Amino acid sequence: MTFVTAVDHPLVKHHLARLRASDTPPAEFRALVQRLAVLLAYEATKDLRVAEIEVQTPLTTTAGHVLQQRIGVVPILRAGLGMVDPVLDLIPAAEVWHLGLYRDEATAQPVEYYSKLPSASPVDVALVLDPMLATGGSAASALAALKRWGVPTLKLLSLIAAPEGIAALEAEFPEAQIYLCAIDERLNDQKFIVPGLGDAGDRSFNTVPSDS
């Protein structure tokens, strides 16, 4: 069964409220995405395996620990790019693999336009980054690509999600782990999350149409 965690933390609630606000400017929006990505990554990496090593301190030697697994950070372009740097700050040795997907507004189905995943030597854990889990189409495409690559542990990190998107992933990827800041009410007729926060990509990169 899919493992779903909505991070219940005062800092998440505080930053998410400002992220949702329609008057939050792009620079602040990007900063909030990064702060929330750190909090999500902290939760999502709690079960990573470590190996014990010996560390020389200025006074003596002591036991320490290092990450034992290869970690892949997989942002879904373009909105997922805003979550990459804070995750890399936590895991500097992680590999970054980009997947380009956009939603066809007429069909609400994902369209892949970029993928450079190799054909062999998969990472041990993939952290898929996408601020919004709406219908689940883009996330499902990304998880399917990583599964074909042979990644054994799949984790999706999203800021907000609709119940419909969670249900879609639970049905198709029961082995996946989903980490969220909030589960919203529903999708509207245009397949946008309600109450949501608008289009995360447009708000991050200041590409909201002037007549919107």
Confirm whether 103 is a catalytic residue.
yes
pLDDT at 105: 66
Rounded Cα distance between 133 and 77, Å, is 14
Rounded Cα distance between 168 and 30, Å, is 28
pLDDT at 211: 46
Catalytic site residue from 18, 70, 78, 202: 202
Using N-to-C axis directions, what is the helix angle for 10-20 and 26-44, rounded to 10°? 150
Which residue in the block uniquely carries the two structure tokens 């919004």? 132
Q: Which domains are delineated in the chain?
A: 3-49+66-205 (3.40.50.2020)
Catalytic site residue from 5, 78, 124, 199: 199
Catalytic site residue from 89, 107, 148, 186: 107
Question: H/E element holding 155?
Answer: strand 153-161
Global pTM value: 0.91
Catalytic site residue from 18, 70, 78, 103: 103
pLDDT at 212: 40
Confirm whether 186 is a catalytic residue.
no
Per residue of the chain (212 residues), what is the pLDDT tens digit?
569 999 999 999 999 999 999 999 999 999 999 999 999 999 999 999 999 999 999 999 999 999 999 999 999 988 899 999 999 999 999 999 999 877 666 666 777 778 888 889 999 999 999 999 999 999 999 999 999 999 999 999 999 999 999 999 999 999 999 999 999 999 999 889 999 998 888 899 888 764 44
pLDDT at 205: 87
Locate 157 and state its tokens. Answer: 């990190």
**What is residue 112's three-state secondary structure?**
strand
Residues 128 and 74 sit within 8 Å (Cβ to Cβ): yes
Confirm whether 153 is a catalytic residue.
no
Confirm whether 23 is a catalytic residue.
no
